[in-house]
Structure formats: structure tokens, C-alpha cells
Structure 1
């Protein structure tokens, strides 16, 4: 009995630690990479500029990221990214985090993604914003029936973590928003305007006291 308790306690610690890694590592890596690129460009390209331009490194980093996006469909860039994927795919733990972040990013930013639409669903006498998934897993559908949809709710300030809810279709409010706009609203903790919502849905929420004017 004591051995089972010790094993359960150890498993809980391991599980919590791994969840912590999933939450902390992606944004930490992102911040580290951006700072590293900023310092690299400031120290290399910046010294060749005719005058000291504050923020030139950041501007170069942003333009560089934009160029990568433009060239993302290029054959050569796909080969390079494929080579990078293979290297990352051989590193324990890192490969899982990388693949998870990549899948979430693709789901949010590709037109044929697994996310069907942006929605609001009831949660603890309020509403939360999320993304309706294209399908409900068959084992769950077999138990709940066809009246439920799967909604993924990302956490504020961290798009790589969140929860899945199975909600009745009648309780779902659909929003006229692009996934990218909804993601901005969520990860910035609501500092982005709700102007992208459908007016009828906003009025409905205001009437229920869930959205402030």
C-alpha cells in the first residue's frame, strides 16, 4: 500500500513537472530566440550602419521573420526547414514540445486547419472564448451523441496550453472573427478590442451582464 502511495506521489510530481515544462518552455524559447537575434543583429549589422539607430536590430529581426514567412512555400526553404525538423525530432522532450507548438500554430494560422470557427461557450456563470474543432472523437460522440461539439480554449498569455470542452451545440455562440484575431485577443488577456465580434452576439452577452460596454 505504501509503495503504491509513493508511486502515485512520484507520478504526480513527474506529471506536474512535465506540465510545467510545456507551459514555461515554449514562451521562454521564443523570448530567448528573439533577444538572441536582436543582440546578434545589433552587434553585427548595426556596427556597419552609418549612424546609430535605436531599435534597428529589432526591425531587422521582424523583417527577417516576415521574409521567412514569404519564402515558406519555396522549395529550398522547405528543404532547410525539413532538415531542421529532423534535427529537433531527435532531441528527447524538446521534440515533443516543438511538435506540439508547431501543430497548434498550424491549426491557428492555416486556412484548412482543424479549427472550424471562433466561439464563446458558458463557463462558471460567464463565457470563455475558444475554437470549435472540426470533429469530435468517435468514442466521445458515442457516449454524448451528436448534440455536442469540441471546443479548445487556449490559456491567456500562452497559446501552447489550454483545455478541451465538450459543449452542447445550443450553448455555443459563434463569432465572426478570424482565428488569428481571436488568438490575439486571448493571449493578450483581452487587451485587444472586441470589435471583431458580431454585434448581435455582443448585445446578447451584454444583456446577460457578461460583457461590459
Structure 2
């Protein structure tokens, strides 16, 4: 029965992020459609998409002004005082910030000795180590994300000496294709046009 629970957990890991994302997107557009249907005489396919994108841009623009930054800061402090909500909100915010602000995420493909010396796995260099982690090492170490084949949503973050990393001169897209296809499509060089 051990294999069944393992596959059940693996299935949850794959399905839950997809289900949550789908649920959130469908509900946002459904809510927008309902709201627009009540207050606007005009209605056409794609109107809710245009309105949602417009609202995201407006909120982004407003959040760059000091007054709304103060309001957002107050709201975050309020949310930070609620035990369980604080954990969920902070986790989602940190992940969102890392994904949306970092242009370098999953850009630098490397080979690393993983899962043991003598074997090489393709991974991606992650942001610089924080001071509490970096201070534990006598030489420079780097964090590398080694994704699992066929599933970029799971993998392992490993910290290893930078001397053990072999940089690859490949496009990030082809490195991701290599991982997603379990090696069926080999990484292409940066100079390759194919």
C-alpha cells in the first residue's frame, strides 16, 4: 500500500497547483463577467479579460505611489497579525515576487554532480544565497534547482560549491524542453538558430 500513497501524493503535487490556478482564473473572470453584466450595457466576448488586465495595470501603477504603498503596508501588517493567514500570505507573496520580479529565474542552465559524485544532472542557478546560509561555508557556494523530468513544479534545491558547477552555453528554453521531455529533446547552443 506504500506505493499507492506515494502515487497519491505525487498526483496531488501535480493536480493541486493546476486546480488552484484554474479555480482562481475562472472565478476572477466569472466575477468580472457578472459585475460587468450588471453595470454595463455593452457586452462582448473578451471584455472581462480586457477589464481584468486593465485593473492589474492600474493597481500596479497606483501601488508605485506613496499613498497606496502606505495603505498596502498597513494591510500587510494587519494580515501579518493573523497566525495562519500570515504564513499563507507571506509564502504566496514571496513566491510571486521571486517569479515576477526575477528575470533570471530558470535562465542559467548548469550541470551539477547530483544525486551523487560522478553523475551529472541539469539544473538552474537560483538567486544568491542569503547571509545566514552563505556564512556557514568557507568557500563560495551556489543554490541550484534540479527539476524532475516531465514536471517542472517539483525538484530539489541543492547548495554546492561553485567549483562543482559546470556552466552550459545553451538557451534556457531548450534546457527547459530537455527537462520537460525527459531528455527526448537535447539542449541547443546559444548560437544555434534551430
TM-score band by shorter chain is 0.5 to 0.7
Q: Using a 3 Å threshold, how does the CA distance of structure 1 residues 87 and 157 change in structure 2: closer, same or farther?
A: farther
Contact 2:62 2:68 in 1 (8 A): yes
Please tell me whether residue 61 in structure 1 is matched to residue 52 in structure 2.
yes
What CA distance in whole angstroms lies between the structure 2 residues aligned with 1:29 and 1:84? 24
**Count of matched residue positions in the alignment of Structure 1 and Structure 2:** 163
Higher helix share: 1
What CA distance in whole angstroms lies between the structure 2 residues aligned with 1:172 and 1:81? 43
TM-score using structure 1 length: 0.54
Question: Aligned to 2:93, which of 69, 85, 102?
Answer: 102
After superposition, residues 7-18 of structure 1 pair within 5 angstroms as: none
Contact 2:141 2:160 in 1 (8 A): yes
Cα RMSD after superposing both structures:
4.3
Contact 1:119 1:132 in 2 (8 A): no
Which structure 2 segments of 5+ residues have no match?
1-8, 182-187
Question: Aligned to 1:128, which of 123, 130, 141?
Answer: 123
Please tell me whether residue 173 in structure 1 is matched to residue 180 in structure 2.
no
What CA distance in whole angstroms lies between the structure 1 residues aligned with 2:152 and 2:54? 24
Contact 1:41 1:61 in 2 (8 A): yes
After superposition, residues 147-186 of structure 1 pair within 5 angstroms as: 147-152=140-145, 156=151, 158=153, 163-170=156-163, 171-173=165-167
Q: Secondary structure at the match of 1:44?
A: helix
Q: Using a 3 Å threshold, how does the CA distance of structure 1 residues 27 and 103 change in structure 2: closer, same or farther?
A: farther
Deviations 1:27-64 (A, max 9, x none): 765544433321121012135243x4123212311221
Runs of 4 or more consecutive aligned structure 1 residues displaced over 6 Å after TM superposition: 174-177
Which structure 1 segments of 5+ residues have no match?
1-16, 191-196, 203-212
Partner of 1:208: none
Kindly indicate whether structure 1 or structure 2 has the higher relative contact order, using CA contacts under 8 Å at least 6 residues apart.
1
What CA distance in whole angstroms lies between the structure 2 residues aligned with 1:28 and 1:75? 36
